[in-house]
Structure 1
Amino acid sequence: MHPVRKQRLILVLVLVALSSAAVGFVTYAMRENMDYFYAPSAFAAGEVPFEKRIRAGGCVVPGSVQRAEDSLDVQFVITDGEAELAVVFDKILPDLFAEGEAAVISGQLMPSGVLRADQVLAKHDENYTPPEVAESMVSHEGCTDGAKI
Structure 2
Amino acid sequence: MRALIQRVRSASVSVDEQGVGRIEQGLLAYIGLGHDDNLQTAKRLIDKILTYRVFENNDDPAKYGKLDNNVQQIGGGLLLVSQFTLMAKTDKGRRPDFGDAMAPEAAQALFAQLIEYAKTQYPIIATGQFGANMQVESINDGPLNFLLEVQ
Range into which the TM-score falls when normalised by the shorter chain = under 0.3
Higher relative contact order (CA 8 A, sep 6+): 2
* TM superposition score normalised by structure 1: 0.25
Q: Point out the structure with the larger strand share.
A: 2
Higher Rg: 1
